[in-house]
Structure 1
Amino acid sequence: MTRRPRHSMHKYFHQKYDLWSKYDQGIRMDRESWYSCTPEKIAKQISERCDHFYNKDNRKSNENKTKSVIIDAYCGTGSNAIQFAITHFDYVIAIDINEKKIAMAQWNAQVYGVSDKIEFICGDIFEVMHILQMRFRQSNNEKIQAIYMSPPWGGPAYIDQPVYQIDQIPGILGLMQKCRQLTANIVVYLPRNITIRGTVDLGSSSTEECYCIEYFTPQKWKVKAIAVYFFGDRQLDCSKSEGNENSPHLTSITNEIQKYILKKAVDVQVNKKAQFGYSK
């Protein structure tokens, strides 16, 4: 059973059912997880987005029964990995460098009944990504549909900063390059005060890349966090559109995304001015 946090953490304890709907069934967390795990409704929203954006077409055309895989690169105590396992992905690879957090995540996955759909790996994220790159290069029956990252933000102190810079997250740009060797479909969960320039810097430096920024506002008019969805260079969409050679994939992709986001903004309110564009 998770211990009640100390006095300075009481505000997080009062949000326990926002973090985990099954908190009373034995959810396990350490102190850091009280302020670092993704609230369940937001985790669910992100998992549904990932399934729709990255996995829907695979499910429709999957004649060879290729297993769809999503990677949670900083799984912590499992809040996102569990929601990914609940959606239509065949299985989740959940990675964390902390053995205790991995053990807690495994337990929490059992509480939610999805432990059989999650492969937990304890290790350095760069080393694990290198191993996974070799593994999936040789695999014909499983495919990485997306990679999700919620890297450490440096604790609650980020809230007091007027602006949060992307280089405050150690190694994030190098990790993005590493992830792109596995897939162009990447989601990054970031602080609400991150600079827009910082989100653009996460994009590929070698090609134009379509991205979408989603704002999560579980409390009205108060943004809690953002998620940046990267889609790579969707050249296949260009042949279906006319006009400037750089505009078709932005138009075709973002119209679908925007329509879907506004339609599905029920469990978690979403800023209807979600931003779309290219990173270069």
Structure 2
Amino acid sequence: MALRNKDQHRLDADAVTVVSRHYGDISEVPWDVQKYYEQRYSLFSKYDDGIWMTDDGWFGVTPEPIANSASSGTFSPERNVLIDCFAGVGGNTIAFARTHRWLRIHAIEADPTTLECAKHNAQIYGVSERISWYQGDCFEILKDAFPEQMDDCVIFASPPWGGPGYRFESVFDLSAMQPYHLSQLMACFQSVTDNIVIYLPRTSDIRQLAAIARFSSKVVVTHYCIEGASKAICAFFAK
């Protein structure tokens, strides 16, 4: 993969060379990312300080105002450990760390390049020392690193939604979400804690969330907008 500007950074992992980027001008940005580049300050207010991104990261990162709002939600005082199961380039992880509310934050990301971006971005925001980082599959890491129920824990997850096709669904079927459907995620997370927050498409089927909560917990759904535009929801599950 060819370098495209001086602010790219290489990481060798498992004999594969991968690249993260800080774009300084829209002329450097791939056409399918340009829309998101124009919104860069709503994604990271400190973008000009040298935020690193992968091209896929532009599509998946939570806008900073939403991440800040979700991270400042009401959590039980005895819950002081946060596990972010899909850390991405760090948007939500950083927001939770900036609240100073958690004794420890554990951030999991499968892709090594994306994880390096998250670590770097956390340094820019001055919160890296509050975060423990894990590279790998979140299901395996939860099983190995957190094998028992934790009374002091909240799991946050912003899972992949299966590509941009969700935008064209009037009601998004959470059982068809790819590569992980809602029931699969909840079964894994509930082995660790009953306090779970999931970041989902704005058109998600609320009936499916209520059906899961009926058997195990209550659920509070918060709808997030930026400048009048609907962006996403968070489902807060708790006993």
Aligned-residue sequence identity (percent) comes to 34
Q: Counterparts of 1:100 and 1:143 in 2: how far apart (Å)?
A: 32
Q: In the TM superposition, what whole-angstrom CA distance separates every residue of 1:162-195 from its partner, at most 9, and x where no partner exists?
A: 2211022224312212211221110000001111
Q: CA deviation at 1:199?
A: 2.0
* Structure 2 unaligned spans of 5+: 1-6, 8-21
- SS of residue in 1 equivalent to 2:161: coil
Deviations 1:134-186 (A, max 9, x none): 3x66xxxx964310010001222321222211022224312212211221110
Matched pairs, number: 212
How far apart are the structure 1 equivalents of 2:233 and 2:206? 11
* Contact 1:73 1:150 (C-alpha < 8 Å) held by counterparts: yes
1:149 alignment counterpart = 157
User: Partner residue of 2:30?
Assistant: 6
Larger radius of gyration: 1
SS in 1 for 2:185: helix
Superposition deviation, residue 26 in structure 1? 0.7
- CA pair 6-122 structure 1, distance change in 2 beyond 3 A: same
**Alignment correspondent of 1:132:** 145
Secondary structure at 2:35's aligned position in 1? helix
Whether the aligned pair in 2 keeps the contact of 1:73 and 1:148 (CA below 8 Å) is yes
SS in structure 1 at match of 2:219 = strand
TM-score, length-scaled by structure 2: 0.82
Q: Which has the higher strand share?
A: 2
Asked if structure 2 preserves the Cα contact closer than 8 Å seen for 1:77 and 1:101, the reply is yes
Find out whether 1:118 has 2:131 as its counterpart: yes
Partner of 1:240: none
User: Whose helix proportion is higher, 1 or 2?
Assistant: 1
Matched, 1:103 2:116: yes
* Residue of structure 1 aligned with 2:107, choices 66, 72, 94: 94
Distance, in Å, in 2 between the alignment partners of 1:173 and 1:144 is 23
- In structure 1, the residue matched to 2:57 is 33
Residues 52, 121 of structure 2: 8 Å contact kept: yes
Contact 2:209 2:219 in 1 (8 A): no
In structure 2, how many angstroms separate the alpha carbons of the residues matched to 1:8 and 1:120?
A: 30
Deviation string for 1:24-68 (max 9, x for gaps)?
A: 01101111111210011110111110xx323xx238xxxxxxxx2
The DSSP-based 3-state class of the residue aligned with 2:170 is coil
**CA separation in 2, counterparts of 1:124 and 1:112?**
26
* 1:188-243 superposed Cα distances (whole Å, 9 cap, x missing partner): 000011111232244364x4x211110001122x31100000112xxxxxxxxxxx
1:58 is matched with which residue? 78
Match of 2:201 in 1: 191
Alignment CA distance shift 1:195-1:143 (3 Å): closer
Instruction: Give the match for residue 233 of structure 2.
Output: 226
Q: Which residue of 1 aligns with 2:4?
A: none
The answer (yes or no) to whether the contact 2:86–2:109 under 8 Å persists in 1 is yes
Give me the whole-angstrom Cα distance separating, in 2, the residues matched to 1:118 and 1:195.
33
**Counterpart secondary structure, 1:7:** coil
Q: Name the structure 1 match of 2:183.
A: 173
Distance 1:182 1:89, change over 3 A: same
Q: How many angstroms apart in 2 are the aligned matches of 1:145 and 1:109? A: 21
For normalisation by structure 1, the TM-score amounts to 0.71
The code of the aligned residue for 1:39 comes to P
Q: CA RMSD in A?
A: 1.9
Q: Distance in 1 between matches of 2:71 and 2:172?
A: 25
SS in 2 for 1:130: helix
Contact 1:214 1:226 in 2 (8 A): yes
Q: Which amino acid aligns with 1:107?
A: H
Secondary structure of 1:8's counterpart equals: coil
Structure 2 counterparts to residues 214-253 of structure 1, below 5 A: 214-220=222-228, 222-232=229-239
Which residue number corresponds to residue 15 of structure 2? none
What's the counterpart of residue 81 of structure 1? 93
